[in-house]
Structure 1
Amino acid sequence: MSLSLTKGSQVVDLGEVDVTDGIAPVEFVAPAVGEWTLVATAEPSGTEVQVPVRVAKADAKITSIRVTPKKVIAQKTKAGVTVRVRSAGDFANGKVQIKAAGKTYTQKLRDGVARFTLKRFKKPGKATLRVTYLGDDATTMARDSVSFRVVKKNKKK
């Protein structure tokens, strides 16, 4: 039996599968998100069966948010932030956005990692970073946040 996926005028050949006792196990990777039709054509009769297939976006997960250095000093330290994002067990593609202290930063993922250098925090206290993976054509967006302390700048004696 030959298999193909169709979406409008787009046709993707999936190859041949063996039929045993009227059963043909089928596994394939869809080329894109959306509504597809799986077409199975029996040989030599030419009997055709069409099955609708919906390919959904993969879920993304922000796997880590790391802030360096451990001690962020108000008006002095520019914090570095590393964000890792995975999707369907692999590196995600697309962009990550961070909101911190009223500012927004955006970076492109490279091998599932985005690196940021934040501006200096003006005041000591609790700082919260709101991290958003913006998603892409094949992956849903994801959100997470992390909080850390910004310490007071030491006064000179």
Structure 2
Amino acid sequence: WSRYGDVNYVEHVMRYYNSGNGSVVVVGDGTQSFNVEEVHTIMKEYLGRPYVWGGRTPAAGGFDCSGLLEYAFAQIGIDMYGTAQSQYNKTNPVPEDQIKPGDFVFFSTYKPGASHVGMYVGNGQFINANSSGGTSYSSVEEWKNLYPFLGFRRI
């Protein structure tokens, strides 16, 4: 959005609106510090968009991996600005037997350290922006067979 204002203002306000019976609507099991489904919904809007190196916003025509997470989390007020490595540095390790949707998954794809990131959505899948499929779902196990796996991490 190249002008002032928030084109998604109503959606952003509605997430704080009550359910009509006086209780606040809460989504998720409360184990993440953010609404996982809300972030996932934002990312799903861009499924099929091409991979764009350095893409940080929809205006770029697509995203790179860290840009997709940076953009989606910014929409809910969480600062995940930066590269895959800086996002790795902003998160905490999670043992694989304790992973939950919303955890980040990191790989080393072309250089030492974290160079690829996605958000785990459950059932062995993560949503990410990658050079072969653009914004898409990928299998954690398949990626583990292709690249060094750096683990799961949580905000």
| The two structures share one fold, judged by TM-score above 0.5 | no
Higher CA-based Rg: 1
More helix by share: 2
Task: Give the TM-score, by structure 2 length.
Answer: 0.24
